[in-house]
């Protein structure tokens, strides 16, 4: 029998759905981040992030099947992402992760790995020294 993927260890689709939905609730109400998401794109952005995270952690490959290679820096290039925006993003993602853990539970080792990944990913999106 094969080892469960991190996706499976984290709780699969229910965990990632809760995480990303709560994150976008925060982003939708954040005056600094909200302008990066046109009204018509907020829900599709939520779906894309969920699919990306699920795939990254060993779940379904729906993201790549539908969108190709993630090319995260290229896809985020049109937006000014400074350290302040990164910090706001991490604030909302941290709160969303706390919520998802409260709802679904998460092994402390997986939590540490996921939090470290999110910080690294957020750092990689910074594309300007402004702010």
Model pLDDT, residue 18: 98
**Model pLDDT, residue 38:** 78
pLDDT of residue 75: 58
Q: Which CATH class is domain 11-125?
A: mainly alpha
What confidence tens digit (pLDDT) does each residue in 43-66 have? 999 999 999 999 999 999 999 988
The 10s digit of each residue's pLDDT in 2-25 is 899 999 999 999 999 999 999 999
pLDDT higher than threshold 90 for residue 99: yes
The full set of domain ranges for the chain reads 11-125
Cα 113 from Cα 24, distance rounded (Å): 21
Q: Are 100 and 19 in contact (CB under 8 A)?
A: yes
pLDDT of residue 74: 54
Residue with tokens 């984290």: 10
- 103-129: average pLDDT: 95
Alpha-carbon 60 to chain mean position: 16
> Which of 26-30, 35-39, 105-109 is predicted least confidently?
35-39
Per-residue model confidence (pLDDT) at position 1: 77
CA-based torsion, 90, 59, 38, 28: positive or negative: negative
pLDDT at 82 over 70: yes
Region of residue 11 (phi > 0: left; psi between -120 and 50: alpha; otherwise: beta): left
């Amino acid at each position: 029998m094969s080892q469960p993927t991190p996706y499976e260890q984290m709780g699969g689709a229910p965990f990632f759905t809760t995480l990303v939905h709560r994150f976008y609730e925060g982003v939708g109400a954040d005056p600094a981040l909200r302008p990066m998401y046109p009204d018509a794109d907020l829900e599709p952005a939520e779906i894309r992030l969920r699919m990306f995270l699920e795939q990254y952690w060993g779940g379904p490959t729906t993201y790549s099947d539908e969108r190709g290679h993630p090319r995260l820096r290229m896809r985020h290039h049109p937006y000014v992402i400074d350290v302040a925006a990164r910090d706001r993003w991490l604030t909302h993602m941290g709160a969303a992760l706390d919520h998802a853990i409260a709802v679904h539970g998460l092994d402390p080792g997986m939590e540490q790995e996921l939090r470290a990944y999110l910080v690294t990913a957020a750092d990689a999106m910074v594309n300007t020294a402004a702010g």
